[in-house]
Structure 1
């Protein structure tokens, strides 16, 4: 529910590591209209070529200026195979038009389940589907929640999470009661952009762990310049700075995520 916490970086790096180092078949779905995850895997020039023919906006049946919605759009047409040559990783890119998703689908029945229906009907075969969502609970994240098994919450350990996390948990639980098909659970909090120079970071991490609002991953991601550089280069840091501290942290996190899901047996 807060931007700038490393949400997209976490999706991009964990997805890349799951695919390249853990040999998992991974699909990344970018549901954030800012398209940052998309532009971490493909160039702006590539996105310009496909933005009007195959993005998540088409999957969700947005008009995008057309006279009518294409309810029969095949989700497979929007999948970009192995962007940047990353074996085992595919991408469904985002579109700026997602900003208007709530308005565009206002009269669509069961509009929270559009993505679920498309994925269920397509028979996609992936070990993991990672969905990058905007920091809110509007229609795009609702489509993600109803199809997801788990929520991972990146948090910068400042004062805000102590207020925001209980609100997030409360809203998700209320939302689940309205949709019986939704069985999503919180897998854990990722502490990101941690700076050892600030005592408040250590204090907030300790307080959130003790609160047990949401389980917290053991691995923390500290402030790390190469992660930011990779964003500027439109590439996953895993590919360009594979041994930097940030990637090492995400490598450990990927392992934790696999283990927690296997232990849960969902």
Structure 2
């Protein structure tokens, strides 16, 4: 069964795209079939996978969403690009900005992306959606289509503090549109373990949110190597396979794979308690 995961945070620069790339390619290395969905008009995910001019692509996620909105037929592989590290990509570009405006006046506007994903997901084990840094209609569409959400949070005070608004949006989507939406966890990124400040943020995040939602055991360290991967068009595994960031994303990949199996008994246990 396909699992759809949105990587979301209204804050920019928290590692959503880097996590989408390396988690996706990490899962592919485990033999999973992966589709990465670039739902950001900036096209950063597309660029990070080596397609450096996303705005020049003739077919993108915007094309597919417009076809879904107008009920125009399309093929399940239409517009999907393949990356040499065994993941597929539905690219994003600036045209998504116009689509987001058009969604406002569209019937069932929150579920257009879900319609597209439902059409293509049979070919994949995981679909990862890289959301734009906002809580606008495109992000709402991603949350409406997802089974779960991963929240990357930079190990700084303000990004961690601003997470409350996103959690409120997730709760609202769960109540009104997508009752099955779960939070896989909060992922601390760009952690500088040389400083007490980063350690304090990790402690505070786990203290304030640990009883409400999962904070991944894995923390992604701050590294120039991770920043370099975007320009190289490849994952951290290909760029610096023996580095700390590659080891961290391999650990996260395992946590994500284990996440579903860990949650199911918990729900059953809670059901048993209410009987």
When normalised by structure 2's length, the TM-score is 0.85
Is 1:71 equivalent to 2:62 in the alignment?
A: no
The reply on whether 1:23 has 2:22 as its aligned counterpart is: no
Post-superposition Cα deviations, 1:162-189, rounded to whole Å, max 9, x if no partner, equal: 421222111221232221x442111111
- Which residue does the alignment assign to 2:270? none
> Which of 172, 191, 208 does residue 188 from structure 2 map onto?
191
Deviations 1:198-222 (A, max 9, x none): 3221111111111224311111111
The answer as to whether partners of 2:150 and 2:186 remain within 8 angstroms in 1 is yes
Alpha-carbon distance between aligned partners in 2 of 1:177 and 1:105, rounded to the nearest angstrom: 21
User: Is the CA contact 2:121–2:127 (under 8 Å) kept in the aligned structure 1?
Assistant: no
How many pairs align? Answer: 254
* Cα distance, 1:38–1:230 mapped onto 2, change above 3 Å: same
Structure 1 CA distance for aligned equivalents of residues 119 and 42 of structure 2: 27
Question: What is the rounded CA distance, in whole Å, between the counterparts of 2:154 and 2:121 in structure 1?
Answer: 37
Alpha-carbon shift at residue 195 of structure 1 (Å): 0.8
Q: 1:135, CA displacement in angstroms?
A: 1.6
Aligned to 2:203: 206
Superposition map of 1:169-184 within 5 A: 169-179=167-177, 181-184=178-181
Judging changes above 3 Å, is the alpha-carbon distance between structure 1 residues 170 and 48 closer, same or farther for their aligned structure 2 residues?
closer
2:41 is the counterpart of 1:33: yes
Write the distance in 2 (CA, Å) between the matches of 1:187 and 1:206. Answer: 19
Q: Is the contact made by 2:153 and 2:160 (CA closer than 8 Å) also made in structure 1?
A: no
2:60 maps to 1:55:
yes
CA contact (8 A) 1:102 1:139 kept: yes
SS of the equivalent of 1:42 reads coil
Q: Does 1:256 align with 2:255?
A: yes
Q: Does 1:164 align with 2:186?
A: no
- Partners of 1:162 and 1:236 lie apart in 2 by 26
Measure how far apart 1:256 and its partner are. 0.8
In structure 1, C-alpha distance between the alignment counterparts of 2:149 and 2:119, rounded to whole Å: 23
TM-score computed with the length of structure 1 as normaliser: 0.88
Residues in 1 aligned to 2:152 and 2:55: alpha-carbon distance in whole angstroms = 29
Aligned 8 A contact 1:59 1:74 in 2: no
Q: Structure 1 stretches of 5 or more lacking a match? A: 63-67
